[in-house]
Amino acid sequence: MTDLPHYPLYIAGEFTAGAKAQVMDSINPATGDVWATFDCAAAADIDRTVAAAQAALDAPEWRDMTATARGKLLYRLADLIAENADELGRIETTDSGKLAAETTAQTGYVADYYRYYAGLADKVEGAVLPIDKPDMHVFTQRLPIGVVAAVVPWNAQMFLAATKLAPALAAGCCVILKASEIAPAPMIAFARLLDKVGFPKGVVSVVTGDAENCAIPLTRHPGVDRIAFTGGPDTARHVVRNSAENFAVTTLELGGKSPILVFDDADLDAAANGLIAGNFGASGQSCVAGTRGLVHRPIFDQLVAAITEKAQGLVVGDPHDPATHLGPLCTRAQVEVIEKTLATAKAQGAQIALGGARASAGAHYMQPTLVLCNSPEVETLKVEMFGPVMSLLPFDTEEEAIALANDSDFGLGSGVFTQNVARAHRVSRRIRSGITWVNTYRAISPIAPFGGFNQSGYGREAGAEAILDYTRTKTTWINTSEAPMSNPFVMR
């Protein structure tokens, strides 16, 4: 046990143990064995971390640093991420079970998020207002919102950290990054890079731990000004309640049951690939997984055949092996939820056309599974399973397809496959989701906003406007008249 890698907390520029000396094990999903240990934060650690962030906000090293200089630090961080993408990807794959091919590529691309906001750092502008009063010079400034609690889950840590950390630091905030207690090692390894960049102590800290000792004290802390949360709806409700204690500005990026609509004029090969990407990519462990495939009835059987043929060649196995397409699920609980949901779906009359059982590679592995649904009420169309389960349901008309797509409590991603440009515009506009991909799926960019409707949360990450979410507008009035201020009892 002593030979295992150990990951400490990173607080105020120092790597440290938690105040309660609480240590947890991290499980390698591919083997089911403990592969590393990590320290957990306690409430006293959160107090210390927030105090350090507040002090950094007021210290001249960060407070008076020019926006251009902040941008240069982010460029330096981006370079370090790109240089260490292979190592960060290896750690994330070992810790979470995600494919090394994906974690390494995604980490390398994440560097562009930091470069994007590095470039935006000195582009945040105020305005001189054409005020309706004489002898007044009035202008606005965008100032850092303050201390940010950035809460990220385990399933896309480098990406989801970047969408919060990059704009917050570019805006001049201080950030406490709270990693999931499930597979937090990549975030602590990332902290080693943050430590090399040259940020003043306290500007960025990285902590992890359970809800009682870490997440709750952080999200309700009176010194936190903004919460950027990605996770599940149930946890988000607790976060919102906690934010009532500090009135922190809160944005939520939550789960989804994203629809993918395939019309009878679609390129079937592209549509099959899109559905596979949206369901079996990342072993289905994606918040935008397109788990509700809605297929025009005339091509339903053809599409099922195309997906089945392609799925026959998918390799389930070691996530470090470049030949593997689907690795293990991060937790056994996910496997159990899938098995329970599939059992209910079969009882409802759904047909398991492919897979439907655990894979032979290990306890955390599921076969890629295809469910043919006879009703929109089938359980697999309702439950976010976070695994490689694709559900297909036929539709007859465009109006029916749109209605089925919108028949969900969620509204994060969606897809439309059609060669009809007018239909693509018409349908994508009417789907109630924050993102619609047309004739593709699961594409991301730092330039494009990301977020959802309904129970998929509120607020947007990425895109130029996201940096403004980490600022407050300050208005300054300057009386330019030589005359003294007049009657103090009359509002000017």
Q: Specify the DSSP class assigned to residue 469.
A: G
For 318, the 3-state DSSP assignment is coil
Distance CA 365, CA 28 (A): 12
For 438, the 3-state DSSP assignment is strand
40 is catalytic: no
Assess contact for 190 and 111: CB atoms under 8 A. Answer: no
Q: Which of 253, 379, 384, 461 is catalytic?
A: 253
Helix (H) or strand (E) run with residue 304 in it: helix 300-311
Distance CA 357, CA 476 (A): 64
260 beta partners? 293, 415
Distance CA 489, CA 429 (A): 53
Place of tokens 């001249």: 60
Distance CA 14, CA 425 (A): 52
Which one, of 226, 230, 232, 231, lies nearest residue 250 by Cα?
226
Assess contact for 282 and 99: CB atoms under 8 A. Answer: yes
Per-residue buried b or exposed e for 447-486, using 16+ beta carbons within 10 Å of the residue's own CB:
eebbbbbbbbbebbbbbeebbebbbeeeeeeeeeeeeeee
Assess contact for 124 and 113: CB atoms under 8 A. Answer: no
Q: Which of 174, 287, 330, 373 is catalytic?
A: 287
What amino acid is encoded at 278 in this protein?
G
For 353, the 3-state DSSP assignment is strand
Assess contact for 355 and 325: CB atoms under 8 A. Answer: no
Q: Which two tokens stand for residue 181?
A: 């207690």
Q: Which two tokens stand for residue 206?
A: 């990285």
For 16, the 3-state DSSP assignment is strand
For 220, the 3-state DSSP assignment is coil
373 is catalytic: no
417 beta partners? 262
Q: What is the CA radius of gyration of the chain?
A: 24
Distance CA 50, CA 33 (A): 34
Q: Which two tokens stand for residue 360?
A: 């032979």
Catalytic amino acids? 253, 287
